[in-house]
Amino acid sequence: MLALVFWTKDRTTSVVLEKNLQPIVSEGNVTSVLYKDDKIYEAKVVKKSYDKGYLTKLTVDKEGNLMTMPKITASQSALKMKGELQETLKQDKSKKTTCDRKRKNQGSKNHQPDKETQQKSRRIEKRNTEDKRQREDERQRQDERQKKDFDDDDKMDESDEEKDKSDEEKDESDEKKDEGDEENDEGDEENDESDEEKDESDEEKDESDDDNDMESENSSDTETSEGHRREEQRREEVRRERERRLRDEELHEEERERNNRRINDVQRRDGPRDRRNLPVLQNEIGEDPLQICRKPGNGRILICEGFNVWIDRAFLTVVNRWKGNPKEMTRRLLKKIVGAENLKRMCARGRSTRYEPIPEDIISVVEYYVNRRCSPGLTPAEFTTAINMMCATLRNPRQ
């Protein structure tokens, strides 16, 4: 819909869209209007319509009111004379006086042209009313057409807005995926940084030892050059011993992995057919998962620095698929670390007298990892509820 507004500052009028009124008010009220130059001015709403041509033809005075043509009314004397003539015409002939007859004759003389003028005026009024009715019908049709156009434009705008929203949602989902990948990269970088920090701390310790030794050497003037040489040899031996121990540990780890793979291959080759079709298991069948999670090696990594909780790197990569479902990630991590059989006789915090509590360090590590990987994390109450529900489901599976 369109609105004819009267600018209070410039004393001029303009036709604007109704949606540019801030706020939208009825006719005769003052409001703020957004103009073409993207600025807001104060104006008075004079008239509203769907017909722009009709609004432009309206005339507004200096106060912002519509100007209308005054109606032509007859004078009081003419109305009085007309009333007297009508009264004399209605009287009986016996009661009429000569003055009344004269007045009647005068009225009859003047009455003939009045009929003609009345007929003409009736024709003119009839023609005017027909023209007015046609103009109103045409204006109504234009208003309906313009209203349909406005509705179509609004529908098109709504469809465009929905498309923009869908595109924005797609962009947000892509950004979330990128953020998840970045978090994975950050996690790997943090592990690398922690290793680098350990190496740097060892180097700093060595440097501090060297500095202390150098200070002691400089402070002690009585030491001989032979003592300096012995001290350097000792430090070199310590460094070599450390490097040799690291190499031995790496070789021992590689040899153990090769032996495990060799044993598994032999068992699969020499065992029965149904056993050969089973996948290769990295751990022994009878070993408790609670003991396995405390041992490093065999492709296991720490979930969090400072806690002795180890897990397979490949399994941790698979678990990251449930970044959008923190409860499912919690259940899968605990089943892998603690084991389903152990969870049947446990609860989350140990508040129940019938069941054992899950180790506190495992609970802390899993809660930290889930809230770090999942953008909508879990509150402590939600985390505890998810674990207790999982343990109850394992104890009483659905039929």
Q: What is the pLDDT of residues 203-212, one digit of tens each?
A: 666 666 666 6
Q: Do residue 353 and residue 326 come from a single domain? A: yes
Q: What does the CA dihedral 67, 68, 74, 75 come to, rounded to 10 degrees? A: -10
Instruction: Report whether 149 contacts 141 (CB < 8 A).
Output: no
Residue 136 lies in a domain: no
Give mean pLDDT, residues 36-54: 86
Name the phi and psi angles at 3, rounded to 5: -140, 135
Please give the Cα distance from 321 to 123 (Å, whole number). Answer: 87
**Domain ends where: 281, 300, 329?**
281
Give per-residue pLDDT as tens, 324-378.
899 999 999 999 999 999 999 999 888 878 889 999 999 999 999 999 988 888 9
Q: Are residues 256 and 327 in the same domain?
A: no
Q: How far apart are CA 9 and CA 93, in angstroms?
A: 70
pLDDT, tens digit, 9 for 90 and up, residues 91-116:
655 555 555 555 555 555 444 556 77
**The domain containing residue 51 runs over which residues?**
2-57
pLDDT, residue 370, reads 92
- The verdict on residue 11 lying in a domain is yes
- Closest by CA position to 46, among listed 72, 74, 62, 65: 65
What lies within 8 Å, CB to CB, of 191 at 6+ separation is 301
> Is the residue at 219 inside a domain?
no
**C-alpha to C-alpha distance for 302 and 313, rounded to whole angstroms:** 9
Q: What is the spatial distance between Cα 88 and Cα 100, in angstroms, rounded to a whole number? A: 6
In a domain, 68, yes or no: no
**85 or 344, which is more confident?**
344
Task: With respect to residue 334, please indicate whether it lies within any of the assigned structural domains.
Answer: yes
Question: Is the domain of 381 the same as that of 314?
Answer: yes
Do residues 268 and 342 both lie within one domain?
no
Pick from 257, 281, 305: which residue ends a domain?
281
Tokens of 361: 């360090």
| Beta strand pairing call for 346-347 and 30-34 | unpaired
Report the candidate in 362, 254, 370, 372 with the shortest Cα–Cα distance to residue 302.
362
On whether both 276 and 309 belong to a single domain, the answer is no
Q: What single DSSP character describes residue 297?
A: B
Which of the four pLDDT bands, split at 50, 70 and 90, describes residue 282?
A: very low
pLDDT of amino acid 51: 84
pLDDT mean over 312-323: 89
What six digits make up the tokens of 168?
């924005």
> What distance in Å separates the CA atoms of residue 316 and residue 321, rounded to the nearest whole number?
9
Hey, which of 24-28, 164-168, 183-187 has the most confident mean pLDDT? 24-28
- CATH code: domain of residue 6: 3.10.330.70
CATH of the domain at 328: 1.10.10.2590
Beta strand pairing call for 300-302 and 12-17: unpaired
Question: Can you say whether the dihedral through the CA atoms of 218, 221, 226, 230 is positive or negative?
Answer: negative
Average pLDDT, the chain: 77
Residues 376 and 318 in one domain: yes
Residue 384 above 90 pLDDT? yes
Residue 337 lies in a domain: yes
Identity of the amino acid at 113:
P
Same domain, 348 and 325: yes
Is the same domain home to 269 and 311?
A: no
Exposed, middle or buried by CB within 10 Å (0-12, 13-18, 19+), for 329?
buried
Q: Given pLDDT bands bounded at 50, 70 and 90, which one contains residue 281?
A: very low
CB 183 within 8 A of CB 373: yes
Asked whether the predicted pLDDT for residue 46 surpasses 80, the reply is yes
Q: How many domains does the chain have?
A: 3
Q: Is residue 53 part of a domain?
A: yes
Q: List the beta bridge partners of residue 22.
A: 32
27 within some domain = yes
pLDDT of the residue at 208? 64
Token readout for 216 is 């002691």
Q: Distance between CA 230 and CA 154 in Å, rounded?
A: 91
- For residues 369 and 390, state if they share a domain: yes
